[in-house]
Amino acid sequence: MFGVLLATGGGWFFWRALQSPYRGYSEDRKRVEVRKGMSTASILRQLQNAGVLRDEYVPLIYMKLLRGRDSVKAGVYEFREPMSPVAIVDKLVRGDVIFNSVTIREGLDRFAIAKIFAAEGYGSESDWKKATDDPELIRDLAPEASSLEGYLFPDTYKFDPGTPVATIVQTMVQNFRKNFTGEMAYITTGLGLHQTVTLASIVETEARLPQERPLVASVYLNRYRKRMLLGADPTVIYAMKLAGKWNGNIRKTDLQMESPYNTYRTPGLPPGPIANPGLASLRAATAPVASGYLYFVAKQDGSHAFSTNIDEHNRNVEKYQRQFYRDRRRAAAAAQP
């Protein structure tokens, strides 16, 4: 009997706590950002620390017991008045945000960016293609550009739900101007801005380690100056995307496709960027290190082995690529029963 009373009383206090409004902040309004990937517990703890919730545990138990199938939407939330934990959970599940937070990482092309924003409810992929096909926003900086590829600056953006695609694109290009146009005075390569951004986009798609970006830039600049084919795989991938042929795989025959973006066939830099580089790659392309390197090959740890001649390069390919895969096949065969 006592246990029943205890359970009943505990349930009543729990339900009362869920329904009791609370406001623990002194400002007129409190804004809290919920980032994609945050756990429910972390979100509720953040709200408690901000004074929106009295206690993080009551709503956490409520969500686990009664709202297990619901998920919290990312974005920036605004609170102005006392709210109960139930009302706050409803607000989070509805995604009743004042700003959506969208992160665009370095090295994405405009087609990938379109997918991300379209998935967040900002226009369609066709809207994005139309908006980024037109280079008018950077005509004064890069009159030779044929699209806005390369000028959609990677960053975390916050927009009101329903913000037009054109407004978002303009904001991204303005962010490029804010971050990079001041660096133009430091271009040491003799390349123009559009060529520098193009080189930076290749560096961004090739270099995994930050310290290797200036080295990778030096390789392509050295090849460019010697009138060698750049031979960059990411440019072939971009050519295939433009042709509607990219399926996630690149084959040897693809290296021979006709395209001004295919640097295995067309000398010099591509006619424009193949992705949207971050500031580190833009700076690397602005002032690469001085080196005699003409080749590099990827190691298995994400770094690269650099070389100055084809014989050394072929040895590196044998060591870091072919031998690695031979050893892996042998290990797999030895593991077979």
pLDDT in tens, 180-238: 988 877 888 999 999 999 999 999 999 989 999 999 999 999 999 999 999 999 999 99
Secondary structure of residue 108 in the 3-state scheme: coil
Q: Name the E strands within 9-164.
A: 30-34, 75-79, 100-104, 155-159
CA distance readout (Å), 30 to 24, 45, 46, 104: 10, 15, 12, 26
What proportion of the chain, given as a percentage, has pLDDT over 90? Answer: 71
Residue type, 298: A
Handedness of CA 38, 42, 43, 46 (dihedral sign): negative
Tokens of residue 14, six digits: 């729990």
Longest dimension (CA), the chain: 91
Phi, psi of 117, deg, nearest 5: -70, -40
Please tell me the pTM assigned to this model: 0.79
Residue type, 328: R
Of 83-92, 184-193, 219-228, 269-278, which range is least confident? 184-193
Of 8-12, 114-118, 139-143, 300-304, which range is least confident? 8-12
pLDDT in tens, 284-313: 999 999 999 999 999 988 899 999 999 999
* Residue 326: pLDDT band with limits 50, 70, 90: low
SS (HEC) of 168-212: HHHHHHHHHHHHHHHHHHHCCCCCCHHHHHHHHHHHHHHCCCHHH
pLDDT in tens, 121-150: 899 999 999 999 999 999 999 999 999 999
Query: How far is it, in rounded angstroms, from Cα 198 to Cα 264?
Result: 16
Domain residue spans of the chain:
14-94, 101-182, 190-289, 294-337
Could you tell me the end-to-end alpha-carbon distance of the chain, in angstroms, rounded to an integer?
Answer: 62
Please report the pLDDT score of residue 5 as a whole number.
38
CA distance readout (Å), 226 to 79, 195, 196, 219, 223: 61, 16, 17, 11, 5
Decide if pLDDT at 12 tops 90.
no
Residue by residue, DSSP assigns 302-336 as S-EEEESSHHHHHHHHIIIIIHHHHHHHHHHHHT-
Query: How far is it, in rounded angstroms, from Cα 105 to Cα 171?
Result: 16
Architecture of domain 14-94: 2-Layer Sandwich (3.30)
**In this structure, what DSSP letter does residue 148 have?**
S
Comparing CA positions, the residue from 42, 102, 108, 111 lying closest to residue 74 is 102
Query: How far is it, in rounded angstroms, from Cα 134 to Cα 272?
Result: 13
Please report the pLDDT score of residue 1 as a whole number.
45
